[in-house]
Amino acid sequence: MSNIPLMPKATAVWLVENTSLGFDQIAEFCKLHPLEVKAIADGEAAQTIKGLDPVLTGQLTREEIDRAQRDPKYKLKMAETKVRVPVQKRKGPRYTPVSRRQDRPNAILWLLRSHPELKDAAIMRLVGTTKPTIDSIRGRSHWNSTNLTPMDPVTLGLCSQIDLDFEVEKAAKSAPPREVGADGETLLRPEETTAADALASAALRSYRPEEPKEDELDADAVFAKLKSLKGPVEDDEDL
């Protein structure tokens, strides 16, 4: 709330006519010069101005006036308003100062790359641009597309961080929900599952456990063993 009362001179006229406040107190509250308040009291100024009761307008309380009348050094304090005036929502694209307009293409490029979920209308609200400009930067048909550099619009001063977060959160809420499986887990997109399958297949191909090799038969060793078994039998026959 402003510290200056509504219609300061009219308020000063009422305080002069209806209270015993000092000139300095009235001048401090109404943001006037003490000599101007004295001229009002002497009838030399504001003769055609009708006094405005600050109590009725909610700018002062009766208790505050009584306290100031008892203490000449007390400074009047503005009463806190009980009515909250709603902030008017801005309509249309944001106004961008002339000195910042050359930075808008860089900000648009940053938004397109960093937050692809944002719709064109949201980008227009953030940086104060037009849809043809956004399309030209997205399609790289902008006249200066080769020299554009992605830059955060908050850093450039084109929008506030609160506005950017609001638009990003709003876009995330309006985005289509991802599919959920029977076990409650979010299903992967087709391209994600294809990539996962390809990685799994590559891993299986790269891992081949070594099969146990059968011992090769040595023919010489077999015949030598047969001869050793046959030798004693022939000796018994000779006996």
Q: What is the pLDDT of residue 174?
A: 76
**According to the model, what pLDDT value does residue 137 have?**
93
Count of residues making up the chain: 239
Predicted local distance difference test score (pLDDT) of residue 172: 84
Tokens of 237: 């026959």
Residue type, 239: L
Q: Tens-digit pLDDT profile for the chain (239 aa)? A: 457 777 888 899 999 999 989 999 999 999 889 998 999 888 888 778 888 888 888 888 899 999 999 998 898 888 876 555 454 455 555 555 555 567 889 999 999 998 999 999 999 999 888 999 999 999 999 988 889 999 988 888 888 888 888 888 888 887 665 554 444 444 455 545 455 555 555 555 555 555 554 555 566 666 676 666 655 544 444 44
- Residue 55 token pair: 């109590």
For residue 133, the model assigns a pLDDT of: 92
pLDDT given for residue 180 in this prediction: 47
From the CB of residue 120, how many other CB atoms can be counted at a distance below 10 Å?
A: 16
Question: What one-character-per-residue DSSP string does the chain give?
Answer: --SSPSSHHHHHHHHHHH----HHHHHHHHT--HHHHHHHHTTSS-TTPPP--TTTTTSS-HHHHHHHHH-TTPPP-PPPPS-PPPPPPP-SSPP--GGGGGGHHHHHHHHHHH-TTS-HHHHHHHH---HHHHHHHHTT-STTGGG-----HHHHTSS-HHHHHHHHHHHHHHSPPPPB-TTSPBPPPHHHHHHHHHHHHHHHHH--PPPPPPPPP-HHHHHHHHHHHHHHHHHHHH-
Whether the model pTM is above 0.75: no
> At what angle are helices 23-30 and 34-41 packed, to 10 degrees?
120
Q: What 3 state SS string does 65-123 have?
A: HHHHHHCCCCCCCCCCCCCCCCCCCCCCCCCCCHHHHHHHHHHHHHHHHHCCCCCHHHH
pLDDT of residue 110: 93
Return the pLDDT at 66. 92
List the domain boundaries for the chain: 8-70, 98-174
